[in-house]
């Protein structure tokens, strides 16, 4: 694992910022894993193999959710904006614009 993931000098970053970076990277890895399973599931013909992959993908959804929740607890503004977007019917872009505009 390299240290080129930082955009600032690593030793100037706080532990909190480093943890944030690790969890942000992990969130991306979980999303990538979900996508790998999505592609594998879409082409797999064997029912048992497909069921196992779906089970594994389900676990990755949980990992992604836990990572996101962790990050949102660190960034209340991010949480506030997502509360205006997620789990709502209707126009996603409109919800996003409204959430951004009303966030403090
Ligand atoms: Fe995972």
What sign does the CA torsion over 26, 32, 35, 36 have? negative
CA 96 to centroid of ligand 1, rounded, Å: 28
Per-residue model confidence (pLDDT) at position 73 = 98
Choice between 4 and 66, residue whose per-residue pLDDT is larger: 66
Termini Cα distance of the chain:
36
Q: pLDDT confidence of 5, banded at 50, 70, 90?
A: confident
What's the burial of 79, exposed, middle or buried (CB within 10 Å: 0-12/13-18/19+)?
middle
What's the predicted TM-score (pTM) here? 0.89
**Which DSSP symbol is given to 5?**
T
**Helix, strand, coil content of the chain in percent (nearest 5):** 75, 0, 25
Q: pLDDT confidence of 6, banded at 50, 70, 90?
A: confident
Per-residue model confidence (pLDDT) at position 2 = 57
Question: What residues have their beta carbon closer than 5 A to ion ligand 1?
Answer: 30, 60, 63
Residue-wise pLDDT for 68-81, tens only, equals: 999 999 999 999 99
CA 37 to centroid of ligand 1, rounded, Å: 11
Residue 1 pLDDT > 70: no
Residue-wise pLDDT for 10-55, tens only, equals: 889 999 999 999 999 999 999 999 999 999 999 999 999 999 999 9
Closest CA to 75 of 2, 11, 12, 21: 21
CA 94 to centroid of ligand 1, rounded, Å: 31
CA angle 74, 59, 51 (to 5 degrees): 160
């Amino acid at each position: 694992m390299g240290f080129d993931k930082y955009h600032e000098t690593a030793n100037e970053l706080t532990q909190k910022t480093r943890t944030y970076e690790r969890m942000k990277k992990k969130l991306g890895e979980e999303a990538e894993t979900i996508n790998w399973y999505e592609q594998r599931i879409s082409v797999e013909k064997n029912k048992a193999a497909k069921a196992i992959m779906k089970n594994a993908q389900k676990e990755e959804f949980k990992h992604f959710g836990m990572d996101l929740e962790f990050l949102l607890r660190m960034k209340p503004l991010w949480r506030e904006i997502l509360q205006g977007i997620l789990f709502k019917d209707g126009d996603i872009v409109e919800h996003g614009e409204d959430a951004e505009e009303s966030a403090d």
